[in-house]
Amino acid sequence: MLVEENKSLKKLSTFGCDETCHYFTSIDSNHSLLEAINWCKEKNKPYLILGAGSNVLFTKSFEGLVLKMGITGIKKTNETATEIFLTVGAGENWHHFVSYCVQKSWGGIENLSLIPGTVGASPIQNIGAYGVEVKEVIASVCAFDTHTNDWITLQNSDCAFEYRDSIFKKNKNRYIITSVDFVLKKQAILRTDYGAIKDVLHEKGIKKPNLNDLSSAIIQIRTSKLPDPSILGNAGSFFKNPTISKSIFEKLYTQFPQMMAYPISDNAYKIAAGWLIEQCGWKGIRKGMVGCYEKQSLVLVNYGQATGKEILAFSEEIIQSVLKKFNVLLEREVNVL
Ligand SMILES: Cc1cc2nc3c(=O)[nH]c(=O)nc-3n(C[C@H](O)[C@H](O)[C@H](O)COP(=O)(O)OP(=O)(O)OC[C@H]3O[C@@H](n4cnc5c(N)ncnc54)[C@H](O)[C@@H]3O)c2cc1C
């Protein structure tokens, strides 16, 4: 096992903050994962699993071993008249996997095109975009349970998937995901209702889109709205869209009739966090090297040398101002370390 010491995490997370980890190693098999876990136990060091670093904010150096997940491979395990079953290594690049499936005309994840990160991290916050969540296509998740020291397979219903949440996010660091089993459709049911998808397809003159058209439309929308982390450090949406009760919604609605919110059950509403932030005047605001992105106020950006602590402090200012104006508490989506 090759262990590097005092490694910079700047290029290992999309926020690009210049923190370090005491120890670093790459994982390319279940065997190397066990070796790394045993190394930590022997030396009494904490560990952190890192995928592509697109949903983390390092605010200090990590005083243990960072394990960079690199188990790859896309394997077809079964096929029926209507479905395809695939097992995918946790270290596979998510968008590469989406493109592979789109090329094969296997439907289900095309709306999740261009989300950065690894396949292994996709169940952690149940990634979602354009009306689709990854939980809809996950059959099961294979992981090493560090509490019981067992290899386990959690079926979809065991994963406690919710909006940007799962059993893996609730039990931080307990489960190390090594592969994910997906079920995709041979006859894709295209979901084109959400966001600007219809407009883009219309502009391109596409009346009967196929999987590739839909994926390309989403790539176009995302590229025009979201900052490219290789140019401007960011981790996508910094905050979750908060859920509020129907009675709070009704109270707020009388004050702010233009509020962007929609019902998610008989008693609960989800409000667009971006709208709340924008109403507090944060959109496009920059303080030193940190900013609230000019085209999408849910995204915080690092203009260069911002530290994780500065980004965290900026996010706290936003949380406090939204709380003051709307009495709604924003929760961070990004994993603060
Ligand atoms: C420009 C941009 C756009 C984005 N858009 C979206 C979007 O539309 N929808 C969305 O849901 N997200 C979005 N994200 C967030 C991010 O892409 C996803 O959360 C992604 O799944 C993170 O993958 P990662 O490999 O980078 O995880 P990392 O950031 O490396 O890790 C995230 C968390 O998961 C843990 N982890 C990672 N891999 C494993 C593993 N194998 N086993 C156990 N724990 C693990 C880490 O310890 C950490 O706590 C966006 C990010 C960016 C930068």
Asked if residue 55 is part of any domain, the answer here is yes
Q: Which of 69, 92, 121 is the last residue in one of the domains? A: 69
* Annotated catalytic residue within 122, 166, 237, 315: 237
Strand duo 83-89 + 175-185: pairing = antiparallel
User: What distance in angstroms lies between residue 265's CA and the mean position of ligand 1's atoms?
Assistant: 27
pLDDT tier at 106, thresholds 50, 70, 90: very high
Residue 333 a catalytic site member:
yes
pLDDT attached to residue 145? 97
The answer to whether residues 135 and 41 belong to one domain is no
- Asked if the model's pLDDT at residue 194 lies above 90, the reply is no
CA of 50 to the centre of ligand 1 (A): 9
In the set 19, 110, 133, 333, the catalytic residue is: 333
* pLDDT value for 26: 97
Confidence at residue 34, expressed as pLDDT on a 0 to 100 scale: 97
pLDDT at 60 over 90: yes
User: Same domain, yes or no, for 257 and 289?
Assistant: yes
The verdict on residue 250 lying in a domain is yes
pLDDT of amino acid 230: 93
Choose one of 48, 69, 90: the last residue of a domain. Answer: 69
Per-residue pLDDT at 195 exceeds 80: no
Q: What percent of the chain has pLDDT over 70?
A: 100
Quick one: pLDDT at residue 245?
93
Q: Is 237 a catalytic residue?
A: yes
What domain count does the chain have? 3
User: Is-catalytic flag, 315?
Assistant: no
Q: Is residue 239 over pLDDT 80?
A: yes
Same domain membership, residue 283 and residue 237:
yes
Structural domain containing residue 95: 74-185
Q: What is the CATH number of the domain that holds 325?
A: 3.90.78.10
Q: Residue 159: give its domain's CATH number.
A: 3.30.465.10
Are 80 and 11 in the same domain?
no
Note the pLDDT tens digit of each residue in 123-178. 999 999 999 999 999 999 999 999 999 999 999 999 999 999 999 999 988 999 99
Asked if residue 207 is part of any domain, the answer here is no
Total-model pTM = 0.94
Q: Tell me whether residue 88 is in a domain.
A: yes
